[in-house]
Structure 1
Amino acid sequence: MGDDVDPGRALVTVGQWLDVWLATRMALRPSTRRLYRQLIRDYLQPRVGGLALSELRVGKVQAAFTALVRASATRSRPLSATTLQRIREVLRAALNGAIRRGLITHNPARWVELPPARRPRAVVWTQARVELWRRTGERPPVAVWTAEQAAVFLEHVRDHRLYALFHVAALLGLRRGEAVGLRWCDVDVGTRTLSVVRQLVERDGRGVCLPKTDASCRMVALDRGTTALLRGLARRDPAGDWVFSHDRGLPWSPSYVSRTFRTLVEEAGLPPIRFHDLRHGAATLSLAAGNELRVVQALLGHSSIVLTADTYTSVLPSLAQKAADATAALVRRAGCHRGAKIRHVVLPRQRSGSPRARLVPAGG
């Protein structure tokens, strides 16, 4: 059904409106549009697509989502709470659009109850977790390497043609699309900075678009080693446009980068992480190096420091140990300071025949 829907027609279905709404959204990123299309096709159309938009009520929408949750629980890979929340948010956004068009007067998706979705926190591949993974295959949803594990990987891939890209991702926390989308005009080796102003996504092959959010457009400081690495790349390909390119001068495919990364991780014998987890690892290592949370927020291009803090509450064990030691040392120092000012005084013998003692401040 096209965009010529008459707002006065009472028999417009939810499915028809979902198609119209998605087709007329102008500001959606290509990857977001693909995700919305999939969620509408696979979950919303089968569950609520046939319902009349004007007759949609909270009870009907809740019943549809309850049935979806129950059906998902029987699958070998149930839908995550985050995915269920995202399905509801797509429906809610579409129904808000229907309100603006005068098709309905309220949004029943607003009141649908779902299992709570918790943001997965990055946890470190400690020795205990590695041993459990080797025995059982169990792995955390989001895991990062220790500094030693990251160093082992970078040493393992030092002679690989994607080494420089992996190095930049592991130290600077660039997203995959941001890394493969870097051009030499974005790099200033003189001031040791690079600017994130675009990302490369796979859309009918490949396409260039803006970074994920406004805050993702950022300037990132380069350490001396990374600067020297990029300077060497520039000398080898002085006429190139893309920082990380193959023999034909074109940027690497994002999916190829991820596939190659998985293969190299297995070859190195390291616990598994996703390419995106290099970004989490860069943040965690930066915190472990003593950088403030606001510095890490700027490194990652987060719009809110709350997001940064919530994601990286689980930090490297060494950092947590330093914090615990600092807290204990503070208490010890306070106790010693207090003890230096206290002396034990024995008062004159009382009639009972036993000495009476009390603590009094020194000099008191």
Structure 2
Amino acid sequence: MSLERRPVFPFTAIVGQEDMKLALLLNVIDPRIGGVLIMGDRGTGKSTTIRALADLLPQIEVVKGDPFNSHPQQRDLMSDQLWERLQAGESVERTWMQVPMVDLPLGATEDRVCGTLDIERALSQGVKAFEPGLLAKANRGILYVDEVNLLDDHLVDVLLDSAASGWNTVEREGISIRHPARFVLVGSGNPEEGELRPQLLDRFGMFVQIETVRDAALRVRIVEERSQFDADPKGFLAKYADSQQRLSERIEKAQHLLPAVTVDPDLRLKISGVCAALEVDGLRGDIVTNRAAKALAALEGRSEVTLADIRRVISLCLRHRLRKDPLETIDSGYKVEKAFSEVFQVSLDSAA
């Protein structure tokens, strides 16, 4: 018997939460943006949206049976073991798979996340017996951490380091093994249960604050859409099949166009001017804003970043990096918009 895939609510059917959807799309176009942290009330569609995105993405080519979802040709997306096999002239079988979506449970240990080495077998047989962890399964996909603000800080550090470097290294008793770990890190949480430390906040590329929809008509529409999906998943998916396909193709085209997208030097200078005016520590804010603006231009099918692109993404890239009083919450975006309007010399109303 062939098992049917569990139906997933379509991404294009999700009502509202435009900032969250945009941040997720930009990160799958350019994973180097550094992931996205989504904070908001319970029941606002965070998990639904993230799972919908993974289901939407184009399939990826992998080496059949490889535990790291290695790419059959790109060196930085394959394991060292596979590279050695290819260098020795061995041929490998290729296949296609859905982009992996891995959930990291709150109670996960470091071994479960990073993988484990069988020291006894390594010492007795001289082989590096490695049991892959969640980072291996998430390679070239999405790693989702719900309630990330409740996760142990050490594990958050491990995830962010792997997401930034693209590699996971496991060392035990002088034995070391590494594998590619390129994934889009998505964290979500409820701010009422605590916030991340500023040092960890800064490591996430983008930040989205979402709220419960207050408009009654919009709430009714959301409930109706969900009820239709639950009653007839196949019929509901068929209704959105065309829009899903169009968006999937846009993402694929944007991924190919991205290397050709450029940012005018004057715009780059002004982006850094905004970061300086806001006293943003380090250069991550500058780098992420440039990357996010380029990803947005690619999504729109353009090879040059515009002022409108920067305006659309700059608050998402900078608001969580601002210095603040310990008793304050993360800025709503007003400070970033104000600095943007001053540096780029546009009115605050048009910048909002």
Higher strand content, 1 or 2: 2
Higher RCO (CA-CA < 8 Å; seq separation 6+): 2
TM-score over 0.5 for the pair: no
Q: TM-score range by the shorter chain?
A: under 0.3
If the length of structure 2 is used for normalisation, what is the TM-score?
A: 0.22
If the length of structure 1 is used for normalisation, what is the TM-score?
A: 0.22
